[in-house]
Amino acid sequence: MELAVQVGRRLRELRHAEGLSLSELARRSKIGKGTLSELESGQRNPTLETLYALTTALKAPLSAVLSTTAVHNEISGNAVKATLTERYEDAAAITETYRVRIRAGTVQESAAHTSGAAEHIIVLGGTARVGELSAPLLIGPGQHGSWAADVPHLYCAPSGDVDAVLVVRYPLGPPAEHQ
């Protein structure tokens, strides 16, 4: 199944499950109603930034609209290309694993994800500047870092492409249980 059609179907299902109108989801995600309609109908290819805005507004992880079994499960944004490789869910959290490439000389600022979300990266090649906007980390090959993802954060490749493994963890349950 083509990525745009699969993603559109899942977005529509999630929106209906939340009882939201197209207009309300567009308002909450700050994505135009026309764009959202085209995405849901599979007529428009989604960007990574758009999908994060929509899934965050739906209180769902990105993997809720992607598949680890699809042939085309790669999603790109202005700076980051990500391929979902694993989704694990238990009573405590949903954990996603992505193979990512951050393009040289680019910066992606990501909006806050759902409460308690955290990201962890292992850099395979290149040097990345990642993490919370107020205190980004500089991480080189073979190094790793973690940051809160429920605040705005960034991905940057200041001097060449960066290849990495990214793990995003979305705790389930009330915030007091996120520890």
For each of the domains in the chain, give its residue range(s) and CATH number, in order of start.
3-64 (1.10.260.40), 78-177 (2.60.120.10)
Q: pTM here? A: 0.83
Rounded CA gap, 117 and 120, in Å?
Answer: 10
Average pLDDT of the residues of the chain: 90
Please report, for residues 46, 93, 116, 120, the alpha-carbon distance to residue 178 in angstroms, rounded to integers and kept in the order given.
30, 9, 6, 16
> How does residue 6 score in pLDDT terms, banded at 50, 70 and 90?
confident
Instruction: Note the pLDDT of residue 47.
Output: 87
**Per-residue pLDDT tens digits for 131-162:** 999 999 999 999 999 999 999 999 999 999 99
Distances (CA, A) of 52 to 114, 140, 142, 146, 160: 10, 26, 27, 19, 25
Nearest to 79 by CA among 162, 21, 22: 162
Q: How confident is the model at residue 176 (pLDDT cuts 50, 70, 90)?
A: very low
In this prediction, residue 68 carries a pLDDT of 62
DSSP track, 15-53 = HHHTT--HHHHHHHHT--HHHHHHHHTT-SPPPHHHHHH
Whether pLDDT at 81 is above 90: yes
